[in-house]
Structure 1
């Protein structure tokens, strides 16, 4: 929802660092996999009750996710890089609720509901991208991507804000998880309405 609005603010510094990293021979895929590894370790830390360590690794994961895109813009985005990026993103997204679900039994059901809503959102996102590509649709609202990046109420920025809130207020995990799951479901309906308007021709 607000990803496109903050991009003009965060892209310039990320692009400067990305240019430096690319010049050092660091590839976008190296950053993608490093970020994924740290994000998954963060989920494990949360599962063991180390929520503050989990929060630090969540933030580091997102920084590397931004930098892999910056490096890709320098070297040129690739289809394989786009594939790795989206798989790494969703693997990270589902790992954090899983970590909270393991940490405390009362978190298990809301974590399951949230992961299920992520699956629905991801399916709608990828299905939209596939059909948009078949029809030659392009957008750079979220920057230059290797696939069509459709907007929605629940996007990366909102998801990270929710993860940070969960780490800051772990006792409120259930309430936050159910509320955000509802927003994810609304995103699926929103994206479906967009698809009906764009593809029903």
Structure 2
């Protein structure tokens, strides 16, 4: 929901750092994988109930996730890079609720519900992107991307915000997970309506 609005604010500094990283030899794919590594490190910290470490690692991982695109723009964007980025994003997204479920068995059901919500949200996102590509639709609302990014109430920025709140208040994970799962369902409904309006004959 807020991703497109904050792009003009975060893209200039990300692009500047991305150019610097490219000059010293970093590739976009290496930054993507490094970001995933930090994100999974954050998930492991959650599973061990080291929430302070989790918070720091998640933040670093997400900064790197923003930088991979900046490095790609400074060098060369590839289809595989776009594929790798979205796959790593969803691996990270499901790792956090899974980690909360490991940390406390009482979190198992809300964690499962959130993973399921991420799954249907991801499917709707990718299905919209594929259909948009077939129709020749384009958008730059989320910056320069390898494929069409559709909007919704639960996007990357909202997901990370909820993850950070969960790390700050782990005792409220269940309630937060159910709330965000609900927002994911609303996003799927929004995206479905948008697809009906955009792609009907």
Give the Cα–Cα distance (whole angstroms) in 1 for the partners of residues 153 and 75 of structure 2.
Answer: 31
Cα contact 1:77–1:145 (8 A) shared by 2? no
Offset at 1:38? 1.2
Summarize deviations over 1:16-36 as a string: whole Å, max 9, x none.
000101111110000000110
Residue 196 of structure 2 corresponds to: 196
Segments of 5+ residues of structure 1 without an aligned counterpart are none
Segments of 5+ residues of structure 2 without an aligned counterpart are none
Residue 164 of structure 1 corresponds to: 164
Residue 108 of structure 1 corresponds to: 108
Offset at 1:42? 1.1
Residue 71 of structure 1 corresponds to: 71
- RMSD value, Cα: 0.6
Q: Which moved more, 1:135-144 or 1:70-79?
A: 70-79
Give the Cα–Cα distance (whole angstroms) in 1 for the partners of residues 194 and 23 of structure 2.
Answer: 40
Please tell me whether residue 16 in structure 1 is matched to residue 16 in structure 2: yes
- SS of residue matched to 1:147: coil
Residue 84 of structure 1 corresponds to: 84
Summarize deviations over 1:69-99 as a string: whole Å, max 9, x none.
1111112321100000000000000000111
Give the Cα–Cα distance (whole angstroms) in 2 for the partners of residues 148 and 79 of structure 1.
Answer: 13
Please tell me whether residue 55 in structure 1 is matched to residue 55 in structure 2: yes
For normalisation by structure 1, the TM-score amounts to 0.99
Residue 141 of structure 1 corresponds to: 141
Give the Cα–Cα distance (whole angstroms) in 1 for the partners of residues 67 and 19 of structure 2.
Answer: 9
Give the Cα–Cα distance (whole angstroms) in 1 for the partners of residues 76 and 134 of structure 2.
Answer: 22
Residue 97 of structure 2 corresponds to: 97
Give the Cα–Cα distance (whole angstroms) in 2 for the partners of residues 91 and 79 of structure 1.
Answer: 19
Give the Cα–Cα distance (whole angstroms) in 1 for the partners of residues 145 and 85 of structure 2.
Answer: 10
- SS of residue matched to 2:45: helix
Q: Which moved more, 1:49-58 or 1:82-91?
A: 49-58
For normalisation by structure 2, the TM-score amounts to 0.99
Residue 127 of structure 1 corresponds to: 127
Residue 3 of structure 1 corresponds to: 3
Give the Cα–Cα distance (whole angstroms) in 2 for the partners of residues 5 and 88 of structure 1.
Answer: 23
Give the Cα–Cα distance (whole angstroms) in 2 for the partners of residues 98 and 156 of structure 1.
Answer: 18
